[in-house]
Chain A
């Protein structure tokens, strides 16, 4: 791993299933070391597929993956089977939405962590166990020694997610991929896990890709936010840029349709009309155009990527007009 390369560099990533269904359609993403990017989008937007492609988790026989993925300067697409096994867990680790499914139900969580450590490093069973114990303390699992010998089903939801974070960090990876890790949790537990991830990221210098559909969770954890729609990143910028000065009509629509943004209680929400597109029949050009309030003829052509501010990019023909409309709406909200 070269030291000055960005943590993640993705360019032109495409993922096609079964030769027909293009779930990811040209994603470019760059993540500096020690930063967190949130990939947000609705179901079917390709955010989880993108995340899995970073670890090459898609079954190779049925999936065509194109483009380049470099993690820490290393070409992931070129890794041999053997190098890939060493890379997974050691350099990049993943945590999932449902830890009960991610853990093996017939082994204790402690055994699964020591197994992971000993797969990657030549250490003794007792040394691995000591490290697992330290990890459990690190992710603040109460009475960690006892919990190591628990089976996954014996832990509560929040504790299971902590245990999975411990498992992911067992081999000191540099990059952590998180696939909706807090979606199934109560809000009171979600915020604990988000704070834990933030703290671990700071202390271990982790780079995190955090996939979520919840803008609120994204703002709590991420330095940068990338908004995905129909397999593409339509807007990317710092968390503040995306939330305060969005330039893509879809981002603006997402922000406006939130229930807490309603001007008057019980007034109608400004919902985005229609539903997410069918990926098998993706509209040409901008895929959001059938639902967009600014759509016109040229939107049928691929939109240009514009840079409204340093560090922010938006794929839209009407980025400025959209931003003005978005501003007018939020000013109206501020007045009301």
Chain B
């Protein structure tokens, strides 16, 4: 059933069956023009040819350093910025086409941002914020408020204490709960969480992660979970996608990718996480330097200037995202048969 009155929303129902990905992204590009004195017109290649799928009922984690394009990808998935190229299929339907206009899609896909304060209207009480979405979608006022109060209760904020408060009157963890309640107000099937727990204190982060797990099960949600914290991503994600400078470096089941990474970049990211073992402190930094500038990405494999496996061939040709095992793909010449890289396997291992 739908909260939206009138004709039932055709997109609220499952269409393609469980095997059909909820979201199929193909050839996604977004370049931002920048003007720099003396350098003329340049572009930031924020997202530079990205393909992936979000399966029904899964949590897809997206990780990478700042500037790798993970947040731009999220904004493109929501249509908050316009894509330069690429297709977006929601349950088999092209998003933005006549059959599924953005407005219909956005009832199905919602987003939670990192900055819990900036995401809420400071002049609205939290109840008004949560009720706003249903209201503009035609739910009568009283019903929208009732729904908002039920959702606030569900995310752990007792309505009689919190409903009338303004965003500045509650803590960061409570505000993020409000944002989650608001994202759920239209009964979406897909929720994009862009660093949604990163700004929270550790003890509160665990509470919000637990809440996200519960809500996912209760409402049958699918998550895209963007974070720079690999421990959190490992905990919450079924599959993980590693991005580097606007491209996918590796994607696969999180148990595989984060336990036995195939891309040297994934390995370096993992090794950069503090160990929590005083006797096994890191002695050598896994990666030197900062992430490079996405204005002029390196030739060939974009990671090659920082890669410990780099060979001349890596500067010359760009590695395709090749399947390696079941559901596991990696864009690295050292893992691709016949690539000319010294470490490349002779022939494909039967998977």
Contacts and interface: CB of A to CB of B under 8 A. Distances in A.
Contacts of B285: 188, 191-192, 195
Top 4 nearest A-B pairs (CB, nearest first) are A216-B274, A271-B206, A257-B206, A259-B235
Contacts of A257: 202-203, 205-206
Contacts of A243: 276-278
B274 A191 contact: yes
B274 A42 contact: no
Place the interface of chain A in its size category. Answer: 35 or more
A92 B285 CA distance: 28
Interface in A179-222: 186-192, 194-195, 213-217, 219-220
Contacts of A315: none
A275 B162 CA distance: 15
B165 interface: no
Nearest to A40: B202
A90 B219 CA distance: 59
Contacts of B203: 42, 253-254, 257, 271-272, 275-276
A265 interface: yes
B234 A187 contact: no
Contacts of B282: 191, 194-195, 220
B209 A269 contact: yes
Contacts of A240: 278-279
A260 interface: yes
Contacts of B236: 259, 266
B276 A260 contact: yes
Place the interface of chain B in its size category. Answer: 35 or more
B112 to A, nearest CB: 18
B206 to A, nearest CB: 4
B278 A191 contact: no
Contact of A188 (B65, B174, B231): B65
A112 B24 CA distance: 51
A260 B278 contact: no
19 contacts: A42-B201, A42-B203, A187-B269, A187-B273, A188-B268, A191-B272, A191-B285, A192-B288, A194-B274, A214-B274, A215-B276, A217-B274, A219-B276, A258-B231, A259-B232, A259-B236, A271-B203, A271-B204, A276-B201
A157 interface: yes
A287 to B, nearest CB: 14
Interface of A: 42-43, 142, 156-159, 186-192, 194-195, 213-217, 219-220, 238-240, 243-244, 253-254, 257-260, 262, 265-266, 268-273, 275-276
| Max count, chain B CB within 10 A of own CB: residue among A159, A254, A271 | A271
Interface in B238-296: 254-255, 268-269, 272-279, 281-291
Contacts of A270: 206
Nearest to A42: B201
A270 B207 CA distance: 8
B199 to A, nearest CB: 10
A189 B269 CA distance: 10
Contacts of B279: 240
Given A195-B283, A273-B207, 11 more contacts: A159-B290, A187-B228, A191-B274, A194-B282, A195-B284, A216-B276, A254-B202, A257-B206, A259-B205, A259-B229, A272-B206
Contact of A260 (B228, B234, B283): B234
Contact of B287 (A159, A188, A219, A259): A188
B290 A158 contact: yes
Interface in B195-219: 201-207, 209-210, 213
B235 A275 contact: no
Contacts of A272: 203, 206-207
Contacts of B272: 187-188, 190-191
B276 A259 contact: no
B287 A271 contact: no
B171 interface: yes
Contact of B204 (A187, A219, A275): A275
Contacts of A268: 210, 213
B56 to A, nearest CB: 17
A259 B209 contact: yes
